[in-house]
Amino acid sequence: MIIPSRLFIRNRANFVAQLPPKSVAVFTANEPMPRNGDEFYPFRQQSDFFYLTGIEVEKAFLLIAPDYPDESLREVLFIEPYDEMKVVWQGEMLDAAQATEISGIKTVKGSDNFYSVLNDIAFSGYGDTIFLHSYEYPKYECSVETIQQRFAKQIQALYPLHQYGRTAPILNALRMIKSEDEINLTQHACDITAKAFRRCLETVKPDLYEYQVQAEIEYVFKYNNARGHAYAPIIAGGKNACCLHYSKNQSKLTDGNLLLFDIGCEYHNYSSDLSRTIPINGKFSTRQKECYNLVLDVMKEITKLYRPGHCINEVNQAARQLMGENSKYLMHGVSHHIGLDVHDSIDKFKTFEPGMILTCEPGIYIREEGIGIRIENDLLITEGEPVNLFAGLPIEIEEIEAAMQR
């Protein structure tokens, strides 16, 4: 699936519509992150930069100046100049024609021209307010200063008397509503993740290790052209499932225990997020059925709230009320937005609108019994009933047991 440039053209137009007069917005691409020695982690573009450009290379800048008199400089993409030695070692580099085809941006310059172009616009009278970008998420904590934070400091040092604005509030709001192209990409990510779960239904058995199950999932992801995991996968057998962010995935699967999956692939940077819980030996015990059906019944009820006018906070409150005295065994919220980031927004009070995609994921975690159960779907908000992007995937006890018996 090729992403059409119309997606990024529309995203930029929606962003520009939110800027005040005489503004210039500047963005920098992500940088490679060191792993060890002379190795780096696989490159992943910063989500907002990708949202506005579709470009997936380092050493790139985006400049948007809607009021600048020279129309050719109202949106400019800057990419790394051609380096013959880099091509020899790392492969062909993105050129201007390719960058235009991907992004829809007509003016593409070398990244070494960025500051001279910005300087002209900043002092022209048409760039009095500079909008800077940094990741803003209330629960985010990181001791490493990002390239976006360093970039913002550098711009402020160059233009200390300018006014400044934040792009994050604008983009966070825009990204909550998915276009048809984004919905299709997310659905494709969900379809790949569903295939991975179905493979696990066929292969999970006692005495396998969690990492062997993870290997089955990763095979399906890569075979179907997903980048990989959208987040650290949780493959948690028995009591491990009571650790909400368990990700060691090293334990042996024990006959009679449950296995909790929280997995999702990333396809063209768009995430999916699926949770299912299955019996390792293919049959739920009476107690496991009781707990599973409690969670499933809650899920069915709160899914009815995924309609315009409701919000995440209402869903969370309803889930705890439905859990009753068992709510003490539910330690997390049951919904979040999903998109280019697996946790795309955290506005619990924003009412649902058509085009939003959110998770629905109630659970129960009884440590003293070694029972951890979570069931999760990704739901698209429409004018009426929500659309389950994992529709048809086994979720009822009978469906899961039948699939595992086959």
Domain of residue 239: give its range: 177-405
Q: How far apart are CA 299 and CA 377, in angstroms?
A: 9
Are 152 and 221 in the same domain?
A: no
Last residue of a domain, one of 108, 141, 175: 175
pLDDT at residue 130 in the model: 98
Are 227 and 208 in the same domain?
A: yes
Q: Confidence band (pLDDT; 50, 70, 90) for 236? A: very high
Last residue of a domain, one of 159, 175, 191: 175
CA dihedral (226, 227, 230, 233) positive or negative: positive
Whole-Å CA distances, 364 to 20, 57, 162, 253, 390: 47, 42, 52, 20, 21
Q: How far apart are CA 188 and CA 304, in angstroms?
A: 24
Residue 399 CB partners (closer than 8 Å, separation 6+): none
C-alpha 396: how far from chain center:
27
Are 156 and 182 in the same domain?
A: no
Lowest mean pLDDT: which of 75-89, 254-268, 278-292, 322-336? 75-89
* Percentage above 90 pLDDT, the chain: 93
CATH code where residue 226 lies: 3.90.230.10
Are 54 and 116 in the same domain?
A: yes
Q: How far apart are CA 184 and CA 187, in angstroms?
A: 5
Look up residue 98 and give its DSSP letter: H
Look up residue 108 and give its DSSP letter: E
State yes or no: pLDDT of 144 exceeds 90.
no
State yes or no: pLDDT of 139 exceeds 80.
no
Question: How many domains does the structure of the chain reveal?
Answer: 2
